[in-house]
């Protein structure tokens, strides 16, 4: 069953349905709906309060793996710069508070970035056993990323480079990718998953460097470098 499902479970639907039930019950005078909504809202509040009081997790997979990948990519591109291609290595914080970092980057830099000559490749939690590429995301409404042709290019580059990459999956959680995508930039998102199609040690105290699959991190670095060199070798892409 897990293998057949290509879109993750919409967990936020359950959270959002609680206040919706309370509002519907209040509007219609149906005490059952009102009681269920209030009870579910109280449960959700308790869960989020427990999260707020919990210790901060180490965050090795989510998302120090991408930080390590940026350093490795910088070293590779410094040793062999791709001619004719400007590469920006951007590390945005505040993703957990509704993409605060990428919003700030967008306000400052999007006006100077040509949509026909700019591509985004987002690395998000790349230390689980299998590297995958998302087709889209949406906690409430699913949105495929802008410009499928760029995702096709990423897959071709991965195949040529010999890096295993699975595509076709969509996420019900949100990443920084949604901001460039809605602005009209071609974008692809590399993430990783375990055998249950979940992020390994996600938001757990076990998210330590010892539990990172470094082969997957290396594959992500290889794919990213291959994409950069493909774009540099084909300057007409996007014209």
Per-residue pLDDT, 42: 95
CATH assignment, 60-233: 3.40.630.10
The length of the chain in residues reads 239
| Model pLDDT, residue 96 | 82
What's the confidence (pLDDT) of residue 239?
Answer: 53
Rounded Cα distance between 198 and 44, Å, is 22
Contact between residue 122 and residue 190 where contact means Cβ atoms under 8 Å apart = yes
Q: What is the pTM of this model?
A: 0.91
Residues of the chain falling short of pLDDT 50: none
Domain-by-domain residue ranges, the chain?
Answer: 11-53, 60-233
Tens digits of per-residue pLDDT, 96-147? Answer: 888 899 999 999 999 999 999 999 999 999 999 999 999 999 999 999 999 9
pLDDT at 236: 66
Predicted pLDDT of residue 234:
86
CB atoms inside a 10 Å sphere around CB 204: 14
């Amino acid at each position: 069953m897990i293998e057949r499902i290509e879109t993750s479970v919409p967990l936020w639907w359950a959270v959002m349905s609680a206040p919706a039930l309370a509002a519907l019950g209040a509007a219609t005078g149906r005490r059952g709906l009102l009681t269920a909504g209030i009870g579910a809202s109280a449960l959700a509040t308790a869960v989020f309060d427990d999260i707020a009081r919990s210790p901060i997790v180490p965050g090795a997979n989510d998302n120090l793996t991408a930080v390590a990948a940026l350093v490795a990519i910088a070293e590779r591109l410094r040793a062999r710069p791709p001619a004719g291609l400007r590469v920006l290595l951007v590390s945005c914080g505040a993703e957990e508070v509704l993409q605060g970092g990428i919003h700030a980057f967008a306000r400052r830099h999007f006006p100077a970035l040509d949509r026909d000559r700019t591509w985004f490749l987002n690395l998000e939690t790349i230390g689980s056993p299998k590297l995958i590429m998302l087709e889209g995301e949406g906690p409430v409404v699913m949105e495929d990323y802008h410009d499928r042709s760029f995702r096709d290019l990423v897959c071709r580059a991965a195949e040529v480079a010999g890096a295993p990459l699975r595509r076709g999956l969509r996420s019900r959680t949100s990443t920084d990718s949604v901001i460039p995508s809605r602005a009209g930039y071609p974008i692809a998102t590399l993430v990783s998953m375990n055998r249950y199609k979940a992020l390994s040690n996600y938001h757990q105290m076990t998210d330590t460097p010892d539990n990172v699959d470094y082969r997957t991190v290396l594959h992500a670095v290889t794919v990213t470098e291959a994409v950069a060199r493909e774009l540099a070798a084909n300057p007409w892409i996007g014209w």
